[in-house]
Chains A and B, each alone.
Chain A
Amino acid sequence: DGGITQSPKYLFRKEGQNVTLSCEQNLNHDAMYWYRQDPGQGLRLIYYSQIVNDFQKGDIAEGYSVSREKKESFPLTVTSAQKNPTAFYLCASKAGGGPLHFGNGTRLTVT
């Protein structure tokens, strides 16, 4: 089945460590996105990529980094510079002007 796979579902890290969240899609979509979700704040855009080897900052890119070396993959690194990294992270993709298709998220807890 086509879809978006995020792994792992739960991730725990110590403060000061970088951590990379995986996102893979087999929908052949050009565009991929990372959103962060906190309680009561909806979804906020971190980074997005419209094509391989290109990406743009979203509204809350500080403390995050991404790469887009392959069409299928858009990993997100949460760096130690991110002040409040504990959140639910959602990856999505889309083709052209259609709706976003989301993965089931990674819950990151930093202590």
Chain B
Amino acid sequence: GESVGLHLPTLSVQEGDNSIINCAYSNSASDYFIWYKQESGKGPQFIIDIRSNMDKRQGQRVTVLLNKTVKHLSLQIAATQPGDSAVYFCAETPYSGNTPLVFGKGTRLSVIA
């Protein structure tokens, strides 16, 4: 597969445990945030998004938390499974149509069976 994320921070979790992946952003004008999952050799896949008028949003087994005061975003994955092993990226943008997203460097999640 692709050698994506050779030097990325790595989070190792036991199968069945919950995972928390963190992301700090710098642009206080950002008001739309997205989490992506990237498996080896593939493009990033959308997981969940949140707008700045919310501080929490839940999906299937995933929750995104937004703390605008400290410019911090987190992704929580419940009951982590081997299929969750991937690199996770946060992305941000001011909500203005097609303004390009700015991506964080990513975190590699490794699930131990």
Contact = CB atoms under 8 A, between A and B. Distances in A.
Interface of A: 4, 6, 30-31, 33, 35, 37, 39-45, 48, 50, 58, 88, 90, 92, 94, 96-97, 99-105, 107
Contacts of B97: 31, 50, 96-97
B6 interface: yes
B98 A50 contact: yes
A76 to B, nearest CB: 14
Interface of B: 2-8, 32, 34, 36, 41-46, 49, 89, 91, 95-98, 100-101, 103-106
A48 B6 CA distance: 27
B46 A99 contact: yes
Contacts of A105: 2, 41-43
Contact of B7 (A39, A45, A94, A107): A39
Contacts of A102: 36, 43-45
Given A45-B100, A96-B98, A99-B49, A40 B43 contact: no
Contacts of B3: 39
B95 A97 contact: yes
B105 A40 contact: yes
A41 B3 CA distance: 12
A40 to B, nearest CB: 4
Nearest to B95: A97
B95 A41 contact: no
A74 to B, nearest CB: 13
Nearest to B49: A99
B100 A101 contact: no
Contacts of B36: 102
B98 A48 contact: yes
A97 B104 contact: no
B108 to A, nearest CB: 10
Contacts of A97: 32, 95-97
